[in-house]
Amino acid sequence: MDWSAYSRLTFHYPADGVLLIKINRPDRLNAMDEVLHTELSRVWLDVDKDDGCRAVVITGEGKAFSAGGDFEMVEATLGSFRVVSRLLKEAADISIAAESGSPSSPRSTGPPSAPASRLPSPPT
């Protein structure tokens, strides 16, 4: 898989079928800027195309997983309908991918569900 289109994420296969994705902005404690936000919204579509990938681990480079939203990105959203609209669409795309495994994949079924017989009984 060619991951060269990504500038804020790095990719490594530490074991067969395992993809390690690192958020790579350690100088900003991996705070999410507009580029990273866009990359995180589309990376799952590319992961889904990688037939050899069975599991993904995502982490942050350096001392932090992520400090959250970069203040420059937050300030850019203030009063900008275009930026807010794009960020909301990307957030929705991330949510859909998280819920279903991928917004476009018939082979991704999301997390397995426990059979009803193995679920704990509700408190009485």
Q: Where exactly are the structural domains of the chain?
A: 9-101
Name the one residue in this structure whose structure tokens are 């991918």: 97
More confident residue, 41 or 112: 41
If you count them, how many residues does the chain have?
A: 124
Cα–Cα distance for residue pair 79/75, rounded to 1 Å: 9
Sign of the torsion formed by the C-alpha atoms of 31, 33, 36 and 42 = positive
At 49-89, the pLDDT tens digits run: 999 999 999 999 999 999 888 888 778 777 788 878 877 88
Q: For the whole model, what pTM was predicted? A: 0.66
Cα–Cα distance for residue pair 9/106, rounded to 1 Å: 26
In one-letter notation, the amino acid at residue 52 is G
Scanning 1-124, the segments in alpha helix (DSSP H) are 34-49, 71-77, 81-100
CB atoms within 10 A of CB 51: 9
In one-letter notation, the amino acid at residue 65 is F
Give the pair of three-digit tokens for residue 22. 């690192």
Cα–Cα distance for residue pair 54/40, rounded to 1 Å: 18
Give the pair of three-digit tokens for residue 110. 């999301």
CATH 3.90.226.10 fits 9-101, yes or no: yes
More confident residue, 31 or 110: 31
More confident residue, 89 or 18: 18
32-46, 76-90, 96-110, range with the lowest pLDDT: 96-110
Question: In the predicted model, is pLDDT for residue 7 greater than 80?
Answer: yes
